[in-house]
């Protein structure tokens, strides 16, 4: 028991130093961090141009991965697009290192895209998990059929309906909060309340009944 408690405390201490996926989404730092990543990519390109005999393009992996992990969809797209542009210009300018730059650029950009995909999936899973916890706390028992007893026709407040519509379109909690100008925790509470009123348990079920959210 003591070992288990120690492990939980150790994990908790370790995780607090990890940046959450899409951590900057919906915050004022989102465009600032994106601009920083783009400027770093520009600096790497200049360094590449100054040192034509050396291939420093691999350094672009750092700002690309950082941006892909912590930024919103729009800002991450801007950073990755800047990365593509940087490598494209470098390939056109440095004819002597063209093959090497292509061989470096493809895996770097592929890795950034893969990191973005992982960040999106993990962020959605984390929101789902928090919503489930709030849901369990609010109502520990549901009917076996999520659409039985007229639960699917339960009335939603205007705000819950707005949140549900965006959630059904695969928006993250941070993106919903930014769109509706409310906090991420408030979004999660609305999602949990919506699940409770509609008698559903997951985002997949919400998407299936999205056409009824009018």
* Angstrom distance (rounded) from CA 163 to CA 167: 6
Q: Are residues 105 and 29 in the same domain?
A: yes
Handedness of CA 142, 169, 166, 114 (dihedral sign): positive
* Cβ contact 26:184 at 8 Å: yes
Domain that holds residue 74: 20-121
Contact 93, 101 (CB under 8 A): no
Read off the pTM.
0.61
Residue 6 lies in a domain: no
Question: What per-residue string of b and e applies to 116-144 under the rule 16 or more CB within 10 Å gives b?
Answer: beebbeebbebbbebbeebbeeeeeebee
Residue that is last in its domain, among 62, 93, 121: 121
pLDDT of 8 reads: 41
**pLDDT for the residue numbered 6:** 44
Number of domains forming the structure of the chain: 2
pLDDT of 1 strictly over 50: no
Average pLDDT over residues 5-13: 44
- 29 and 109 in a single domain? The answer is yes
pLDDT band, very low/low/confident/very high, at 56 (cuts 50, 70, 90): confident
Domain end (from 121, 150, 182): 121
Q: What is the mean pLDDT of residues 95-118?
A: 88
Q: What is the mean pLDDT of residues 191-214?
A: 77
Radius of gyration of the chain (CA): 22
């Amino acid at each position: 028991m003591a070992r288990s408690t120690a492990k939980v405390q150790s994990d908790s201490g370790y995780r607090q130093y990890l940046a959450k996926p899409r951590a900057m989404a919906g915050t004022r730092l989102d465009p600032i961090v994106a601009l920083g990543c783009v400027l770093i990519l520009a600096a790497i390109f200049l360094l590449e141009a100054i040192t034509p005999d050396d291939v420093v393009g691999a350094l672009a992996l750092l700002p690309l991965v950082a941006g892909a992990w912590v930024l919103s969809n729009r800002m991450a797209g801007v950073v990755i697009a800047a990365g593509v542009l940087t490598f494209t210009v470098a390939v056109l300018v440095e004819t002597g290192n063209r093959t090497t730059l292509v061989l470096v650029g493809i895996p770097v950009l592929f890795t950034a895209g893969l990191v973005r995909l992982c960040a999106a999936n993990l962020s959605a899973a984390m929101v789902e998990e928090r919503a489930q916890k709030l849901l369990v706390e609010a109502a520990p028992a549901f009917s076996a059929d999520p659409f039985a007893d007229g639960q699917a026709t339960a009335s939603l407040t205007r705000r819950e309906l707005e949140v549900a519509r965006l959630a059904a379109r695969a928006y993250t909690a941070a993106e919903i909060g930014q769109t509706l100008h409310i906090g991420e925790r408030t979004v999660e509470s609305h999602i949990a309340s919506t699940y409770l009123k509609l008698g559903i348990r997951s985002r997949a079920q919400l998407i299936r009944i999205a056409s009824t959210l009018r």
